[in-house]
Chain A
Amino acid sequence: MPVNVIQSGIMTTIQDMGRPGYYHLGIPMGGAMDRYALRAANALVGNPEEAAGLEAVFMGPELEFTEAATIAVCGGELPPKLNGQLRETWTAFDVEAGDILSFDFLQAGARGYIAISGGIATPPMLGSRSTYAIGALGGYDGRAVQPGDSLPIGAQKAQGRAGKSIPNDLRRGPTEGCVLRMLPGLYWHRIAKKAQRTFFEDTWKVANEADRMGYRFQGGQPMEFVDREQPFGAGSDPSNITDACYPYGSVQVPSGTEPIILHRDAVSGGGYFMIGTIISADMDLIGQLQPNKSVRFAQVDMDQALTARKERKSMLSALRDAIA
C-alpha cells in the first residue's frame, strides 16, 4: 500500500546508500548526502540501514499514508507534524491509514531524512533506488518525487519501534563554526605557499550553488599558482589539467577563486585541478550546510583521517546499541 505525495517540498528525492561501481562511466555513487542521518532513521523504524528513504532539502514534503507504518525523521532539524501535531525528530512514531505527515519550517541543517517502515520499494536501477536526476536513474521514474506520485512501500515491516529515540549526544548535525577536514594532495603543489596557508586561515561561506553534485564556497582569498608552462591537452588557464578523475569530496578551484567540493552526485572527472579531498568522516556534514553558512577548512594527514573514520564508525555502533 503506497504513500501518496501531496506536496513535494523544494526537492525531495528517494535515496539509499548509492550505486558504487559505475563511476568509471561517469555514473556517480549518489545516495543520501548525510548517510548517518538516513542510517539513523532506518534503524529507528527497524529497517535495514541501507533501505531507501526520502531526502528533503530545506523544506519537507506532505505525505498521505494508506496503511499503518512507523516513521522517523533524522538529520537537519525538520520537525514532523502528524495530522498537524508536532512530533519529535530522531524518534520513531506510528502512523495510521489516512494520516497526513507534513513538516514545520527547517530550523537547522539543510536536509531531513524520512524513513518509513518497510522502506521505499521503487525499482532499483544499477543496484540502487537512489535518484540521480541528471542521468534519469533510480528515484521515481528517474526524477525527484512530485505531487500525485504514489510511493510503493516494502512489505517487511518491523513492529514495536514507536517511541525509540536517538540520545542527544548521538544526534549528529551541523554545529556553529563548522570545520571540514581536508587531506591535501592531488594537485596541491600547483598553488603557491601563501595560498596553501590562506586556504586554511580564511573563513569561507557556502555559496548558493550548493547541491547534490557539489558545494561551492566564497569569501576566501584568490589563489596564486606556481608558474609552469601548461602541459599539452590541459588548456590555457593555470587551473586547468589534462582531464582526470575527481575523487568524491575533492576540492577543485576553477581559476583559483571559488573552491567546489564534489559530493555524492559528483561529476566523475574534468579539467580543473584539485587541491585535496575532504575526509570521508566529514562528508555527511557538508550535506547539512545551508548557503551563507561559515566554514573553515582544517588540514589533516592520513592517520588523522583514518582515526576520524574510526570515530565515526564507533558513533554508529553506539547508535545501534542505544536503540536496539
Chain B
Amino acid sequence: MSCRYTFGGDEHIFVEVSESMSLEAFFVSLAITNAVRDAKIEGVTEICPANASFQIKFDPDVIHPDRLFGILKEMEADAEKAERTLNTRIVEIPVYYQDPWTHETLMRFRERHQDPNATDIEYAARINGYEDVAAFIEAHSGAPWFVSMVGFVSGLPFLYQMVDRPRQIEVPKYLRPRTDTPKLTVGYGGCFSCIYSVRGAGGYQMFGITPMPIFDPGQTISYLRDFMVFFQPGDIVKWKPIGREEYDAAVENVQAGHFEPKIADVIFDLEAFNADSDGTNAKLMEALNAG
C-alpha cells in the first residue's frame, strides 16, 4: 500500500492511502495520524484521519510544507509495521427504519433521486439484490459496523460494514444533494452508512432514524456531558431495528435524561477479523450482550 501525497493549498497535506475503501487502508491512516499526534510537531494545527486517507493542517510560517512532507513519509514506513489491534467499544444504536420523518423528506426530493417511483430503501434493496425491504433491513442490521471516519458536520460517523466484500451494501448518492435531512437520519452512500448528527443538507440515501442523539453542543444529555461528540474513529456499531413505540419511548427517555446507550469495551484485531469475520462479529456481539 503506497500512499499518494498532495498539498491542499499552502496549509494542508492530503494523503490518500488507497483509492478504494478497506479496513487495511483505515488502519494505515490511523497509525500515521496517531504518530503525528504523538510527535507533537510544531506548526501542525489539525490532524484528521478519514476512511482511506488523512489530512494534516499546518502553519507554513512555522514548518515548511516540504519538511512536513518528509516527516510524514518517514512515518508511513513505520505505519506499515504498526499493530492492527484497537482497544475500542461496541455500541448498540436503535434504528426506526422507514420512519415517517425521513419518508416525508425523501418524498419532497424525489426528482433528485435515481428512482423517483421507489423510496430510498426500496431502491437500495432492489439494486443490492434483496428480495424485499425486510430482507434488506436484516442485512443492514445483521452484522456490526466500523466507524472509519468522523466528519462532514458535527460528529457525523461514517460506518463501514463488517462483512466480506461480496456481501457489502453499495448505493449511489442522490443525483443532486437534498437541501434537507432530518436530524439523526441513518443514511447510506457508496459503501458507507452514516448518522446525520444535525439537520441539514445531504446526499446519502435515507433508510431510517435513531432516537439517540450523537451531538449535543449544550452537553446536557447524560452520555454527552464529558464531550459534545459521541463517536470517534474505531468505534463499532450494531444497529438494532425498533418500531414506533420503542422509538417514542427512547425519545422520551433521552429527554428525561434516563437514556443510556448499550456499550461494551472490546478489542478489535484486524488479522483475526480478516481470518474469520463472522466469528469475530459473533464475539463482538457476545461482549455487547453480556454488558
Contacts and interface: CB of A to CB of B under 8 A. Distances in A.
A240 B8 contact: no
B85 interface: no
A247 B14 contact: yes
Contact of B7 (A142, A183, A309, A313): A183
Contacts, number: 181
B12 A23 contact: no
Given A20-B45, A232-B165, A25 B151 contact: yes
A155 to B, nearest CB: 27
Interface string A138-165: 0000100000000000000000000000
Interface residues of A, number: 51
B45 A24 contact: no
Interface in B204-238: 215, 217-218, 229
Contacts of B10: 183, 279-280, 302, 305-306, 309
B151 A247 contact: no
A188 to B, nearest CB: 8
A249 B153 contact: no
A268 B152 contact: yes
B48 A233 contact: no
B20 interface: yes
A252 B274 CA distance: 35
B257 interface: no
A216 to B, nearest CB: 12
Nearest to A125: B217
B50 A245 contact: yes
Interface string B15-27: 0101111100000
Interface stretch (B74-82, B89-97, B154-162, B243-251): B154-162
Contacts of A183: 7-10
Interface in A224-250: 231-237, 240-245, 247-250
Contact of B217 (A135, A236, A241): A135
Contact of A26 (B11, B47, B154, B218): B154
Nearest to A274: B8
A249 B10 CA distance: 10
Q: Helix, strand, loop or mixed for chain A's interface?
A: mixed
A25 B229 contact: yes
B118 to A, nearest CB: 17
Given A183-B9, A231-B20, A302-B10, A244 B50 contact: yes
Given A25-B151, A232-B20, A236-B172, A277 B7 contact: yes
A185 interface: yes
A244 B190 contact: no
Given A269-B50, A277-B7, A305-B10, A233 B152 contact: no
Given A23-B46, A233-B190, A280-B9, A244 B60 contact: no
Interface stretch (B100-108, B192-200, B275-283): B192-200
B84 interface: no
B264 interface: no
Contacts of A269: 48, 50, 149, 151-152
A26 B173 contact: no
Given A25-B229, A242-B19, 5 more contacts: A24-B46, A142-B217, A232-B21, A233-B190, A305-B9
